[in-house]
Amino acid sequence: MADTIASLTLSSVRLPLVTAISDAKVLTGRQKPMREVMFLFAEITTESGDGGIGFSYSKRAGGPGQYAHACEIAPEVIGEDPSDIGKLWTKLVWAGASVGRSGLSVQALAAIDVALWDLKAKRAGLGLAKLIGAHRDGVRTYNTSGGFLQAPIEEVVDNALRSLQAGIGGIKIKVGQPDWRTDLKRLTAVREAIGDDVPLMVDANQQWDRATATRMGRRLGEFDLVWIEEPLDAYDVEGHAEVARRLDTPIATGEMLTSVGEHLKLIDAGAADVLQPDAPRVGGITQFLKVAAHAEQRHLDLAPHFAMEIHLHLAAAYPGNDPWVEHFEWLDPLFDERLETRDGRMWLPDRPGLGITLSDQARAWTVAKTEFVR
């Protein structure tokens, strides 16, 4: 007889950031500085005592909504066979059908989906990447957390050099300031500090219009960038395709999209040279793998957004070109384990599943918790 899900515990965890974070959207008044990240954790236990953990997250807004929706649909998995992950994803999305199949609704069920994959890998005695089918044991990694716009350029340079010393392979900094000359000065300082051979990326966080993105992209050509990220509004598919055609520097985008269908539109339009899907945002690992399959068929580079604890495994299992994974140390306090960076790559842990366990600090930052039992 198949083992079944005996309990599911959902926790809403508020992670405070040491420094209020600003990107281009803050400097132009679209958003306020980010001071915290809200996490939704799902912990599944089976009748036989096996367990899995997964998470989703929300920045600036949406955390309480994710938690509330997850609590509404969570009873649907109790008593089910946890191995039937695709079936359970469909059951959960239909349980919340009135709020759609993208956005907050799938972000809420993503935490459960990730926990099911973690459980499945643990029961097999494998790391998640090995369960899916790893193509590499380490993935190229670049740091983002040290390059935000609230930091003076001297701090950004110091952060970049420390990241390289820690074995991280590339550096990404934020651009999109009101005065474009400030962007060029900051970028020049970073490139001079890290040298010509270190991979360097920039992220405009949806700041520019099409004409500005084209002009800035041409100005940035001298820096030999790996990519220019989100030059336009995330949902301007035609605009991203137009800019991608005009520039030699690759265009990266996709992190804000919350469904497979949205990613397919981006891919079909030729709007991304580097696709940046986010498993917690797109509905979990089940949906991420669908996006990745389409990206590989179009020979796109892959660079999943944020949540390196999940995305390291998914990038390692990508059959296409050697992908990138984004390094953020923000989540470190939430887990007892640390991921290894060495020789420009992030390496798969030898622990089963995702290889993470919640820390005492994560428990202390929990603001709401609900358990569902059989």
Extract the annotated binding site.
23-25, 59-60, 172, 203, 205, 229, 255, 326
| Residues in binding site for substrate | 23-25, 59-60, 172, 205, 326
Catalytic residue selected from 120, 122, 263, 305: 305
Instruction: Assess whether 174 carries a catalytic annotation.
Output: yes
C-alpha angle 44-330-105 in degrees, rounded to nearest 5: 45
Enumerate the β-bridge partners of residue 252: 229, 274
Neighbouring C-alpha atoms within 13 Å toward the C-beta of 159:
20
Radius of gyration of the chain (CA): 20
Handedness of CA 80, 85, 91, 93 (dihedral sign): positive
Contact 372, 115 (CB under 8 A): no
Phi/psi zone of residue 15: left (φ > 0), alpha (ψ -120 to 50 degrees), beta? beta
Q: Which two tokens stand for residue 132?
A: 């899916």
| Residues in binding site for Mg(2+) | 203, 229, 255
Instruction: Assess whether 130 carries a catalytic annotation.
Output: no
Catalytic residue selected from 69, 174, 240, 327: 174
Residue with tokens 């220019």: 228
- Listing DSSP states for 113-162 in one string gives HHHHHHHHHHHHTSBHHHHH--S-SEEEEEE-TT--TTS-HHHHHHHHHH
β-pairing, 5-21 vs 34-46, is antiparallel
- CA-CA distance, 49 to 258, in Å (whole number)? 33
- CA-CA distance, 53 to 8, in Å (whole number)? 10
Handedness of CA 252, 254, 260, 261 (dihedral sign): negative
Contact 190, 214 (CB under 8 A): no
Distance of CA 278 to the CA centre of its chain: 4
Q: Considering only CA atoms, which of 236, 245, 315 is closest in space to residue 273?
A: 245
Catalytic amino acids?
174, 305
